[in-house]
Structure 1
């Protein structure tokens, strides 16, 4: 069995496909009795085997569905994808405040990883926007929240399934716009990219670095919700989109990557949290030693200034920047071992600057 990273392979002793929280609890108890770990797996989008095990693999997609949409919350099963969440909440004019760029990952999976999106500079992580969680711990079903079993609540959010199996979540919802204005802002370098992300007022903002003429091109994407918004200073291009089309913007790209075979190739990803004051230096040093071949044909470099609220398991520095070098081991490009070695160099550089690994990656 492999995950999206395609680097680690593990064969589980058995695969259990629970259809309820009670069946998850039963499977966890049975695994413990056999001396085996029980590891939850949604859609397996981890990069270095975090969703794999030689013990009991819990296929959580059987626990899917939106149970309730209230005035400002939705109750969902852990195996529900964010696409399925949106399909249930948008008819009510509501949406989660933070969405991942790729919607075909599960709520339980991203909450257990933290969950970062373009609105995380305003709303924090997806884990910051959970009202309560249903969790199986030591074979028992419990509910936790900031007020009830708060220690467990803090341990499972961003805990990568190590402290309990999330079976359900109550998610905070906010009003969803009907349309958005997406603005592309060219930037000179990493410092300018971070400056734009700090200074521009936008509902959704992110940064991207692309190969260009033997060097790198930097751009920020600022997205404003609602009609009548004015583009920020420095905007070079604008596009008006329906909100759902914007939220699901990766779907055509993923379809193309699947058709090209790139989606199935190994993805040696490196993702680190950096302190804002030293982020530009780390980014520029990393880019100076990186060639397009070391990124891969469909590799992506993302830079995201964000806010992390109270999610202790993420251990991000104050005023964090998420620097993501999302490599793809394409034919004719650098090998997987070489990409992993480059990831380790980035992690060492990040730690020397006061940063930490974002533990859903494959840096080490």
Structure 2
């Protein structure tokens, strides 16, 4: 069995597809009795075997489904969803009400449970923080302890430990996601930037609901920087050179045609040695520039992406990030004729070393060094 990373392969002793929290609890008990690890797996979008095991693989897609869209006693509107539900399935249920989660993943075909276990950074995280900071309650199965509910007011220590906890403190089986109103259409703005510092300035100052940035290979060598700002209303930010109006759903699902093309080209199935780190805001621009000076297009692959995203910290104790954090994602693809998988992993190790020396951290934040997180 492989995951999206395509680097690690593991054959589970058995695969269980639970259809309820009680069945998850039973699978955990049986695994423990047999001396086996039990690892939840949604769509297998981990990049270095985190969703794989030689023990019991819990196929969480059996827990897919949006159970309710309702208003709580405090007036908060939320969707109650199974952990195996994809973000696409969440939107299918909430958009008819003109609502959506405040933070979405760029790729909608990953599961809610997996995203919340990692933290979940999205284009609106500069306003709302990670996806896991926008959950009102969770149902969790703890090994040996059964099924429990947790929230800010009920077992808050567990609630804080499980969100971005990478499954170390229990298996998320259901989540109540906060919802916010969204418009029918949005305006997508492209803003060329001089350098990494200019890109981060645009992200921090643009009056936009969604901001993101990339470094792309420049004609003649080197890299050029580009910010994207998405507005629900109002005028384009200064420096905008291109605009496109899209339906909210088309914008949220903007990667779908790209993924289809990558599948057709064979790039989607190639190894993806991704390296992602949080950098402290006051040093991020210099660190990004240094990283890219030592990186050529072949070092990230034909379909590789250099993602740069300033975000708001707070609300998620398990996600230990530096002050004013900036996410740098070297989303590498081991394309033919480009750097090898070992070379890409070595570059990830060097990036993590530099990030930590500057006060940064890995994303997802993991208590285990090395191989378990794709930097070995």
Q: TM-score range by the shorter chain?
A: over 0.9
Q: Distance in 1 between matches of 2:169 and 2:267?
A: 34
Q: Distance in 2 between matches of 1:250 and 1:234?
A: 25
Structure 1 stretches of 4+ with a deviation exceeding 3 A read none
Q: 1:204 aligns with which of 210, 224, 243?
A: 210
Task: Tell me what 1:3 maps to.
Answer: 3
Correspondences of 1:1-364 after superposition (within 5 Å)? 1-71=1-71, 72-139=77-144, 140-213=146-219, 214-226=221-233, 229-359=234-364, 362-364=374-376
CA contact (8 A) 1:128 1:308 kept: no
Q: Distance in 2 between matches of 1:175 and 1:196?
A: 25
Cα deviation for residue 363 of structure 1 reads: 2.5
Secondary structure of 1:70's partner? strand
Task: Tell me what 2:368 maps to.
Answer: none
Secondary structure of 1:325's partner? strand
Cα deviation for residue 70 of structure 1 reads: 1.2
Secondary structure of 2:123's partner? coil
Q: Distance in 2 between matches of 1:308 and 1:84?
A: 27
Which ranges in structure 2 are unaligned for 5 or more consecutive residues?
Answer: 72-76, 366-372
Q: Taking structure 2 as the reference length, what is the TM-score of the superposition?
A: 0.95
Aligned residues: 362
CA contact (8 A) 2:129 2:315 kept: no
Cα deviation for residue 162 of structure 1 reads: 1.4
Q: Distance in 1 between matches of 2:186 and 2:113?
A: 28
Per-residue CA deviations over 1:126-155 (Å, capped at 9, x if unaligned) read 100000000000240101111111111111
Secondary structure of 1:345's partner? helix
CA contact (8 A) 1:271 1:363 kept: no
Secondary structure of 1:244's partner? helix
Cα deviation for residue 359 of structure 1 reads: 2.5
Cα deviation for residue 362 of structure 1 reads: 2.2
Q: Distance in 2 between matches of 1:103 and 1:362?
A: 23
Q: Distance in 2 between matches of 1:231 and 1:42?
A: 38
Q: Distance in 2 between matches of 1:318 and 1:28?
A: 38
